[in-house]
Chain A
Amino acid sequence: MRCTIVPPHILDRVASAGDPELRDIARRTLVLSSGARTERRMFPAEAAAPNEDFVPNRTIADAGHREETPGKTVRTEGGPPTGDKSADNAYDWLGVTFDFYEAAYRRNSIDGAGLKLLSTVHYGKDYDNAFWDGSQMVYGDGDGRLFKDFTGPLDVSAHELTHGVTQYTANLEYYGQSGALNESLSDVFGSLVKQWHLKQTADQADWLIGEGLLADGVHGKALRSMKAPGTAYDDPNLGKDPQPGDMAHYVETYRDNGGVHINSGIPNHAFYLVATAIGGNAWEKAGKIWYETLTGGKLSSTADFKAFARATSATAARLYGDTAAETKAVKDGWSKVGVRI
């Protein structure tokens, strides 16, 4: 265990306090504590030949309902289906996400250099969560009363793998606005992988995150809505979807790493507005602008919403021109959610 002089709850308070200088120091300290677990590629991967076919290297392991990773290997690349739905879903969704990043952006796996993909399924008992631990994905079965199996929806897998992509590129700090951007990028590409898989244009997509995850009888359609943040669920047991869709409703909190799953609604909605204004397949233009901004090497790991908005606007201008409709759509999208460029 790492020893610190200042207790973490104080750091957390300070990290969300008024004094910007103190706040930054506290946040840096908090972030350092997680540094040991994460890996980041410091130099870009060697460029692949333009026609090289990237192939995934997947491994699925079973935790046997213990909270331990990776667990027992049950399927490796090219192996036959196991007959266990969770393991086979996890395998298939890793493949779809891998194929999306190759087809849409010529990216070879999470790190751009063919990183092996590992997923652990059946983690814990009635475990209502899925996460990316810095080197692999982990899925719970859900408790069956509120949540179903987290390997079910494709966008959950794509969301978690995108945390890996972010880690290997801009490495946005998982706290406050940079953390909410990290979350939002996982939702954006989570939704885009699903849209690509279903061959949906921006106006056909549901723009929901975690559709199919809520158990029968729960009042809600998903966990988040990029189209209408704050409307995904309203249930006696789960409460109401707390996401804001604009800066006027930004939530200040020290919980949830400074509200990363709450305020992500703002950049989520901005992306939705940009993608629907441009029209067509959202991964082709809006997604390309976001992807190039994330992976271009210029985005700071502590970028806030405004810095990210400016960066996407610059990327759009570079890709499509200063006065192009795409660039105007990006500026308008951020403006509508109250982020001034």
Chain B
Amino acid sequence: MKVRVVRSGGFAGIERHGESDSARDPVLAGLVDRVDLGALSPPGRIPDQYQYDIDIDGTSATVGESQLSGPLRELVHHVLNRPR
């Protein structure tokens, strides 16, 4: 499964992008099964916090920084920190 993450917002307002494919990324493969994008609430609009747009094989969600926890948090940081 192809996973794309875009981080936007923050005081700096600078975007960061990350992308990976679970077929070639065993860590990601272990995380995608534990994440349900449909179960997330809308992003909290907190001044200068990050906003994350997450896309897993065409299914996407937008969440605020304070909503990132557990496997979703691991997934987001894993994909954003992958060397391009």
A→B interface (CB under 8 Å): 1-4, 7-9, 11-12, 29-31, 33-34, 37, 128-134, 147, 150, 156, 159-160, 163, 173-175, 179, 182-183, 186, 210, 223-224, 238-239, 242, 254-257, 260-262
CA–CA, A257 and B60, complex, Å: 16
* Least CB distance, A4 to chain B, in whole angstroms: 6
Pairs A-B, 8 closest by C-beta atoms: A261-B13, A131-B48, A8-B42, A255-B8, A174-B45, A256-B8, A34-B45, A163-B47
Which of the listed residues B13, B39, B40, B42 has the most CB atoms from chain A within 10 Å of its own CB? Answer: B42
Q: Please name all residues of chain B whose beta carbon is closer than 8 Å to the beta carbon of A255 when the two chains form the complex.
A: 6, 8-9, 15, 51, 53
CA–CA, A3 and B41, complex, Å: 6
CA–CA, A131 and B46, complex, Å: 8
Interchain CB contact (< 8 A) of A33 among B10, B39, B41: B41
Q: Please name all residues of chain A whose beta carbon is closer than 8 Å to the beta carbon of B11 when the two chains form the complex.
A: 129-131, 150, 156, 159-160, 210, 223, 261
* Residues from 1 to 54 in B contacting A, C-beta threshold 8 Å: 6, 8-15, 37-51, 53
B→A interface (CB under 8 Å): 6, 8-15, 37-51, 53, 60-64, 66
- Which residue of B has the minimal Cβ distance to A224? B13
- Which residue of B has the minimal Cβ distance to A166? B47
Known: A134-B46, A239-B14, A255-B15. A9 touches B61 (CB 8 A): yes
Please tell me if the beta carbons of A262 and B13 are within 8 angstroms of each other in the complex: yes
CA–CA, A109 and B82, complex, Å: 43
- Which residue of B has the minimal Cβ distance to A12? B62
CA–CA, A323 and B81, complex, Å: 57
Please tell me if the beta carbons of A133 and B61 are within 8 angstroms of each other in the complex: no
- Which residue of A has the minimal Cβ distance to B15? A255
Please tell me if the beta carbons of B61 and A8 are within 8 angstroms of each other in the complex: yes
Please tell me if the beta carbons of A8 and B51 are within 8 angstroms of each other in the complex: no
* Least CB distance, A134 to chain B, in whole angstroms: 6
Known: A128-B12, A174-B46. A256 touches B61 (CB 8 A): no
Q: Please name all residues of chain A whose beta carbon is closer than 8 Å to the beta carbon of B53 when the two chains form the complex.
A: 9, 255
Known: A182-B47, A239-B14. A256 touches B42 (CB 8 A): no
Please tell me if the beta carbons of B46 and A133 are within 8 angstroms of each other in the complex: yes
* Least CB distance, A178 to chain B, in whole angstroms: 10
Please tell me if the beta carbons of A8 and B9 are within 8 angstroms of each other in the complex: no
Which of the listed residues B13, B40, B50, B53 has the most CB atoms from chain A within 10 Å of its own CB? Answer: B13
- Which residue of A has the minimal Cβ distance to B46? A133
Interchain CB contact (< 8 A) of A9 among B44, B62, B66: B62
- Which residue of A has the minimal Cβ distance to B50? A129
CA–CA, A242 and B61, complex, Å: 24
Q: Please name all residues of chain A whose beta carbon is closer than 8 Å to the beta carbon of B50 when the two chains form the complex.
A: 129
Please tell me if the beta carbons of A131 and B49 are within 8 angstroms of each other in the complex: yes
* Least CB distance, A307 to chain B, in whole angstroms: 19
**Can you list 7 residue pairs at the A/B interface with Cβ under 8 Å?**
A7-B40, A33-B44, A128-B12, A129-B10, A133-B46, A160-B48, A261-B13
Please tell me if the beta carbons of B38 and A7 are within 8 angstroms of each other in the complex: yes
Please tell me if the beta carbons of A186 and B8 are within 8 angstroms of each other in the complex: no
Please tell me if the beta carbons of A8 and B48 are within 8 angstroms of each other in the complex: no
CA–CA, A223 and B11, complex, Å: 9
CA–CA, A255 and B8, complex, Å: 6
* Least CB distance, A112 to chain B, in whole angstroms: 19
Please tell me if the beta carbons of B40 and A238 are within 8 angstroms of each other in the complex: no
* Least CB distance, A243 to chain B, in whole angstroms: 8
* Least CB distance, B60 to chain A, in whole angstroms: 5
Which of the listed residues A11, A33, A173, A210 has the most CB atoms from chain B within 10 Å of its own CB? Answer: A33
